[in-house]
Amino acid sequence: MVLNARRSRIDELAESTSDSGTSLAASAWRRLRRNPVFLVGALIIGVFVLLALAAPWLAPHDPAQRILEHQVSRATNTIPPVQEGFPLGGDQYGRDLFSRLLLGSQQTLLVAVLATVIGLGGGLVLGVTAGAFGGWVDSVVMRAVDVMLSVPSLLLAVSIGALFASQTQFTVILAVAIVQVPIFGRLLRGTMLAQRASDHVLAARALGVRETSIVFRHMLPNALGPVIVQATLVLAVAIIDAAALSFLGLGAADDSIPEWGQMLGGAQTIIDSHPQLAFWPAGCIILVALGFTLVGESLRDALDPKRRR
């Protein structure tokens, strides 16, 4: 098969944790608690989630208000410097950079979570359909998935974004999410197929359990392990992809509600003279993406005893 390669890698991941049961979950947690990689990742995410929750009270200024506007001169491209009450200075429109960073965490985490949930939901439908029915349904769904996987993810996101007349935060989320649908779909299908052949499913079938009950109560719960790992990693990918779209000028047009990717994309024209406008949001993106990656990787290790990392 042409795309055999990618398929086999995702399937391999699928099979690696398909035998997970409740006892594995318990032992996985025991391993996680002692894993420094997990602890560092969880700490990073915990801090940023707390910051996002507390942002409205912590932010010293309104992130949308051009408080320092009088200091900004378009002709000389001046950026308001660090000053009393503005610990990071202003941005190119005279808004408080610190407040925008703080509140940006809300929007960025929202983008990550929504994109992952939508991508996972779509992949769930595809994967369960293909994995549960098998046969020609499986072939049709998987060919469609192959085609989606053959378009580079960024270009796929761009072409989805193009379908909307104007760009908003939601269209960005949707574009980032749809890219993940085939990946989740293939992963779930693989785990579901592995479940189909397993003894407990055969036993359930022999007992005359209804097919829908087999799919949703016997196959799906056991197939979720690798999907949870993938979802954690996708949280990081979604933030970076959204930033990439903004960087290409395909981000949300309205920037009154700050988002890190958008801030980074908006700073690209003045990065040579005022790198701090790019470095702060980029630093935040890298930290949060790293946090999700570390948690995802350690989850993968914990769920798969065979893996040596």
Partner 1 sequence: MLRYTVRRLAQLVLVVGVLSLLLFAWLRALPGGPVSALLGDRATPQARAQLEAQLGLDQPIWVQYWKFLERAATGDFGTSTGVQRGAPALEVFLVRFPATLELSVFALLLAVAVGIPLGYLAARRRGGWLDNLSITWSLVGVAVPVFFLAFLLKFVFAVELGVLPASGRQDTGLDATRVTGFYVLDGLLTREWDAAWNAFVHLILPAVALSTIPFAVIFRITRAAVLDVMDEDYVRTARAKGLAAMVIRRRHVLHNAMLPVVTTIGLQTGALLAGAVLTERVFNIPGIGQAVAVGFQRKDFPVLQVVILSAAMVYVLVNLVVDLSYALIDPRLRTR
Interface ranges with partner 1 (CB under 8 A): 1-6, 8-9, 143-144, 146-147, 149-156, 158-159, 161-165, 236, 240, 243-244, 247-250, 264, 268, 271-272, 275, 278, 282, 285-287, 289-290, 293-294, 297, 308-309
Contact 59, 99 (CB under 8 A): yes
Integer angstrom CA distances of residue 8 from 44, 135, 213:
33, 19, 28
What count of other Cβ atoms lies within 10 Å of the Cβ of residue 75? 5
Q: How far is the CB of 193 from partner 1 (least distance, A)?
A: 20
**Residue 74 vs 308, nearer CB to partner 1:** 308
Q: How far is the CB of 3 from partner 1 (least distance, A)?
A: 6
Q: How far is the CB of 85 from partner 1 (least distance, A)?
A: 29
Q: How far is the CB of 263 from partner 1 (least distance, A)?
A: 12
**Residue 8 vs 213, nearer CB to partner 1:** 8
Instruction: Please list, residue by residue across 129-157, b when 16 or more beta carbons sit within 10 angstroms of its beta carbon and e when fewer do.
Output: bbbbeeeeebeebbeebbebbeeebbebb
**Residue 215 vs 238, nearer CB to partner 1:** 238
**Residue 7 vs 189, nearer CB to partner 1:** 7
Task: Taking each helix axis as running N to C, give the angle between helix 169-196 and helix 153-161, from 0 to 180 degrees, rounded to the nearest 10.
Answer: 130
Q: How far is the CB of 21 from partner 1 (least distance, A)?
A: 25
**Residue 94 vs 122, nearer CB to partner 1:** 122
Q: How far is the CB of 272 from partner 1 (least distance, A)?
A: 6
**Residue 214 vs 266, nearer CB to partner 1:** 266
CA nearest neighbour of 278 among 267, 270, 287, 269: 267
Contact 187, 15 (CB under 8 A): no
Taken in order 240, 246, 247, 248, is the CA torsion positive or negative? Answer: positive
Helix-, strand-, coil-residue percentages of the chain, each rounded to 5: 75, 0, 25
